[in-house]
Structure 1
Amino acid sequence: MYIKKILLLIVLVGLIIGGVFAYNVYDAIFAPNTKFNNPEAHVYIKSDASIADVSKMLEPLLNNTQSFMKVAERKGYVSNIKGGKYVITKGMNNNDIVNSLRSNNIPVKVSFNNQETLASLAGRISAQIEPDSLTLLSLFNEDDFFKSNGFNDDTKIAMFLPNSYEFFWNTSAEKFRERMLKEYNRFWNDERKSKAKAQGLTPNEVVALSSIVHKETAKIDERPRVAGLYLNRLKKGMKLQADPTVIFALKKHSGNFDLVIKRVLYKDLELDSPYNTYKYRGVPPGPITMPDISAINAVLNPEKHDYIYMVANVENFGYHKFAKSGAQHNRNKAQYIRWINSQNINR
């Protein structure tokens, strides 16, 4: 009888120990382990992150980091960390958290537009994916890659078509550049190349002219008319005489692209730069900014008209007054000069 009691006691103790162990295992693996109040939290893990880095990153989000670490070790995540953007939802247990971090790298939206230089583009992109701006800019300045794909220092920026794209956050600088080339080649299909040829332009020249159209008017509905005007000038052998090209030339000459110039002065027109379309005929050697797709489409599908002059419309701000003759243009220009002088805009 005494032996039976001892055996029974041993069994009971074993059951209790087993129960406690099972509970701890269950609690470590399957019990909720988040402490944030939002529906979900986003975690950005670098490509070279260690388990210590991941643990430190998760510490503000988890109730018990140690239990997470135990499950991470048991499931082999410690030696298989992958960079990327991951989502942890409220109420997740350690098992689900590890599974998410191991296999649920989600894409991010990368968008950019209106960049004037590759340096500013690198800064914009580095704020959205893992590579830093210096790494990106170094790749953007590799001449061999661009030269082999039909670009030079002046036209490089034309390869980057402004839009929104899906990337994994841990995309490398090299992969980003390769993707942009693919998007450029996809955009310039046979139909668009044929339209460019019909205007007497190469794709890179279309982008360069589009950048002027983009700078001249923010009104998308006016861009085909502005594009038609500049194409008329090119066909007549006239200089484009576009103020935005002079502003870009001044910035490039000074090395300061943060320079604010609200008014182009007569002395500015004398700057000897291939971008100064008051001094040199034809399309500038490269884009003066990254044009919107709407501006590119405007050059490829211009409005048909006989206008060769335009000036800002002070009666309908944002738009322009167009003219077919110098006399008509001078009347429009006089009205604009009176207005700008009344605003005391000297530079």
Structure 2
Amino acid sequence: MVVILLIIVVLAGGAGGYVWSMMRPVEASTEPVVFEIMSGSGTSKIADQLQEEGLIRSGLTFKGYLKWKKLGSNFMAGTYSMNPGVTYDEIVSKLSSGEVVPEEMVKFTIPEGYTVLQMAGKLSYEHVVDRDEFIKLANDPSAFDVDFVKDIPVDEELRYVLEGYLFPETYELKKGSSTQDVMQRMLEEFQTKINSIPDLEAKLQEKNLSLHELLTIASLVEKEVVVDEERALVAGVIYNRINQDMKLEIDATVQYLLDKPKERLFFKDLKVQSPYNTYLNKGLPPGPIASPSLPSIEAALNPEASEYLFYVTKKDGSSGHLFAKTYKEHQQNIAKSKAAQ
């Protein structure tokens, strides 16, 4: 009887020693092991994966350890990085807290007033998007899941359907995001910004404007104004000219049609045949000519009342404007501006 008990003790001790040896960390290394725990993976699969990755000696022992300690039910999916030599407790802690490898991100900025073509060029140069695909998708709103997209007019005269809707902002996305993902994010940002404007729908109805028309006016303001304080005043001039059935005659609408913007437009440039040319056509162009900032959108929604019908850029380096109620005053302002050069 004593012999049998002795044998049992020896066997138990041997088994315990084996289990203990299997629980010991593997040989330490400074070379991290990066692996992914897929969503829905159970503790058994995770244990086997850890053994295959060389992070533990025995998947079976790790399973037993988890069962004994009642652990593993809260392990999180994701990509992890661990160095060989980690203990069971360290592994459990990382998997339970979701201490995943930070995803590599790419950061980029879309300046206010950029056009679709400018965005495509900049982001392609920065290796964020494919230029041709960006331009193609700018005319395919059905490719995106954003509420307002369905309200963009179906108009063959639009140069780019999404012009003006890709919000100018600094973004950070996962590296390797597709061109469509990048544009989706920009459209979502536009939706967020628009939703932040108080009483937007009521004000649009009051002005008998669609969001598309508002955005078109805002884009004109964005391209015409540098001094923030003048945004609402310039917006008011645009409304005044429309209400008096005057052509807007905004240089930026002509610049939009040129392959490369010019420092100075010539009379021949003003004769470019296009529905966007506000020197030839009354009313608003078919759509936005750039992506306006939120202040320009708000200025278009809340224009400053005045009797002004004209404005000219000051040539004194201030980037401001001289405003006039009559054409005669406007001519005087032009002369005054030139004299300040």
Gaps of 5+ in 2: 1-15, 37-52, 64-75, 83-89
State the shift of 1:240 in Å.
Answer: 0.5
Pairs aligned (count): 295
Distance of aligned partners of 1:126 and 1:265 in 2 relative to their CA distance in 1, 3 Å threshold: closer
The partner residue of 1:234 within 229, 242, 247 is 242
Residue 250 of structure 1 aligns to a residue whose secondary structure is: coil
Pick which of 290-299 and 116-125 moved more: 116-125
Paired amino acid for 1:223: R
State the shift of 1:244 in Å.
Answer: 0.9
After the TM superposition, which residues 174-189 of structure 1 pair with which residues of structure 2 at under 5 Å, given as runs? 177=184, 180=187, 183-184=190-191, 187=194
Contact 1:245/1:277 (8 A) holds in 2: yes
The partner residue of 1:223 within 231, 239, 245 is 231
Residue 258 of structure 2 aligns to a residue whose secondary structure is: helix
- Using the alignment, how far apart are the partners of 1:331 and 1:101 within structure 2? 68
State the shift of 1:303 in Å.
Answer: 0.7
Partner of 1:313: 314
Contact 1:312/1:321 (8 A) holds in 2: yes
- Using the alignment, how far apart are the partners of 1:66 and 1:119 within structure 2? 50
State the shift of 1:267 in Å.
Answer: 1.5
Q: Percent same amino acid at aligned positions? A: 25
Contact 1:88/1:97 (8 A) holds in 2: no
Paired amino acid for 1:319: G
Does 2:163 align with 1:157? yes
Does 2:207 align with 1:205? no
Distance of aligned partners of 1:140 and 1:276 in 2 relative to their CA distance in 1, 3 Å threshold: closer
Q: Deviations over 1:208-234 (max 9, x none)?
A: 111111111121111011111111101
| Bigger radius of gyration | 2
Does 2:263 align with 1:262? yes
Give the TM-score, by structure 2 length. Answer: 0.63
CA root-mean-square deviation: 5.3
Q: Deviations over 1:281-317 (max 9, x none)?
A: 0011111111111111001011111100100122462
- Using the alignment, how far apart are the partners of 2:226 and 2:31 within structure 1? 47
Paired amino acid for 1:306: E
Partner of 2:45: none
Pick which of 318-327 and 117-126 moved more: 117-126
- Using the alignment, how far apart are the partners of 1:274 and 1:306 within structure 2? 27
Distance of aligned partners of 1:303 and 1:98 in 2 relative to their CA distance in 1, 3 Å threshold: same
* Structure 1 runs of 4+ with >6 Å offset: 15-23, 65-68, 86-89, 93-99, 106-110
State the shift of 1:200 in Å.
Answer: 3.5
Structure having the larger proportion of residues in helix: 1
The partner residue of 2:138 within 130, 137, 140 is 140
State the shift of 1:335 in Å.
Answer: 2.8
- Using the alignment, how far apart are the partners of 2:91 and 2:30 within structure 1? 6
